[in-house]
Structure 1
């Protein structure tokens, strides 16, 4: 989830749990607790891109960090509020729940979250929501704004807006799970029908929706990539495009490049390509640039394996290249199904 969504969700939960004791201060406490794991963005100020990729959603998104941060945040909040109406144990349980909920929700998209850092560096991604999906976020943000700035101590109205914020987001998450189950069934059918021997798959939503899904299946020498809409006919097979892994090209990489970090971040889903004299490392789980309209579209995450190239915006730079009115219409047409 993006930081604004976490803040809005935290505020709504604060409203639900602590408003009777803290009034509108509950919104601020909830928003702060829910947003705290994202302090890892500060790491980008001094880390190089490969290290920063692993630092983000690393230790500050672990369950251990949530436990320790909940204790410290509860102490700070208790001292600042100086209120006898709320116990330390209540604050601790509230903050711990908020921090852990942040971590769990971040596993819903493609980036990967280190829930059990520092004991294991495994990243968890359930690929249910696209980062910044407005259909999940909008009700939470609207409810947060109304509760924080427009409503006074009217219990009935505040409860109504609390449900307006939380219920649509919860329903949308359930809707995403249902859609992924449907798509996964068809993906398995298509791979078997085409006699594609695969080791594992990634099925993740395309930008801003849970109706059109991007699919990657790992084979011995590379990957097959395709797309599936929940509105595609059950009898239709998914057209796949093959991409070789080209692992041998990594032997040409400059020793100054942290290839080990990139490989860990890619979690086995990567290709290497050579464009003129430049080697490019693609992480496949972030999707393609407009791949639903061009089967051979470049991948959104491209890291230039040349120490002199600027990879500062490596995650963001490929997400919206080429987006315009025509591509949005093409995406809508593809969502409608084949």
Structure 2
């Protein structure tokens, strides 16, 4: 494979004295193979590592085509990276994106073609490396189609997951910061994984705590407004003093954001407006900095600022639901 590159677009970075004594490495990266071409004054050494099968293919070619004088003149016009590697970015990007898990090192040769162009040549004489060369060319020709197919398949998987009966609480890997504490709750029902809570039995305030005490560091918990009364009403979300065992967190000991009006409430009293009234399916991030004793909120990843700076020593995630069928979920 040969790639022509205008000299005017290449910045000289290496002094001549650095070239004479060093071997020249050209590097490519993928995640199924590691391919190395090492060019010295006398030889071109090729190593191809199949990372899936742990096989190694090696070959050494006498360097008859690249005299030291030509090589030095060529390298004066080529941009070298800090490790003395010439990186062919386009192939590297294709491989890193498509193959994902393992890396390839590719080293190639280059020489001056004329006053305007330099030829980069990738020498892969073994049968296995020729197969790899074909794969590179196929990827280059079909990059757009491959990426579209890849994105479409990912979207299909996401759509299938969202349709399952789990309240939409899916994430590939990881665990939620906390769940709802089912032992201290009334007139609510929980999803099977205790991440979704729904109000039942009429319209009145009822509260639920998280099951993990927050005492140190910074913790962010995302809450999705699954169901709001008339589109925006009936839920308060925030934190409560871990010592408080009651269930009406809106009235005492709570630091909450109210969905109906976007106000921050402290111990049942409105303090200031942080945002407009919430909408159904909005996501509220509750950000608890226990090192600074600060509480902040985000709405759909938009920062609403610090709500308070006087949290108690230990807090729990808390939610209040007023209207029947109001519902919210912890995301992760």
Using the size of structure 2 for normalisation, the TM-score is: 0.24
Q: Which structure's residues are more often strand, by fraction?
A: 2
Q: Which has the higher contact order (CA 8 A, sep 6+)?
A: 2
Q: Which structure's residues are more often helix, by fraction?
A: 1
Larger Rg: 2
Using the size of structure 1 for normalisation, the TM-score is: 0.23
